Structure 1
Amino acid sequence: MAQTIITLYTRNRCPLCDKAKATLLELKEDWNFRLEEIDIETSDELTEHYGLMIPVVHIDGEEVGFGFVDKFDISNRLQEKNG
């Protein structure tokens, strides 16, 4: 089975993004996934798409959360994926 990939879309000077990253790093202690962090400011397209939503979390390409990232919700999503 391929490793789960969690993508975190962020930008600099974003307190909610920092909290989201800390939450995902905590989850990494219990779940096996690869965390990718993408700064939306590196792409006009990403900035236009996610500008007001960040942080945005995708699990294997599926958007599962934005704004306030809930640890319990992400954990449940990982459990569903890893069945």
Structure 2
Amino acid sequence: MSEQVLLTLYGREYCSLCQQMREELRLLAPDLNLDVIWLDIDDDDVIERKYNEMVPVLTGDGDEIICFYHLNRRALDAYLARIR
């Protein structure tokens, strides 16, 4: 099995798109060997200013944006292929 990859999902608790992406990633994580950290942007003013209207935002190493609004499997797969 490949090495576990750490990703960060920025979103808001009350955001339905955020919750949808969070659930999709929860289901994919075991098969893709992902560890996804959830951060609510409303808890941090700096992060809120950075991603305010973009959430949900899935990022990889160095805050590289993989996708936002909806989970883009092609973008996620391309990111994983590039870093593994």
Report the TM-score when normalising by structure 1: 0.83
**In 1, distance between residues paired with 2:28 and 2:77?**
7
Structure number with the higher helix fraction is: 2
In structure 1, what is the equivalent of residue 66 of structure 2?
Answer: 64
Report the TM-score when normalising by structure 2: 0.83
Aligned-residue Cα RMSD (Å) equals 1.8
Listed as ranges, the gaps of 5+ residues in structure 2 are none
Query: Segments of 4+ in structure 1 off by > 3 A?
Result: none
1:75 to 70, 74, 77: 77
Listed as ranges, the gaps of 5+ residues in structure 1 are none
State the aligned residue count.
82
* Mapping of residues 14-53 of structure 1, within 5 Å: 14-53=15-54
> What is the percentage of aligned positions where both structures have the same residue?
29
> What amino acid does structure 1 have at the position aligned with 2:77?
S
User: What secondary structure does 2:14 align onto?
Assistant: coil
Q: Which moved further from structure 2: 64-73 or 40-49? A: 64-73
Q: Which moved further from structure 2: 23-32 or 39-48? A: 23-32
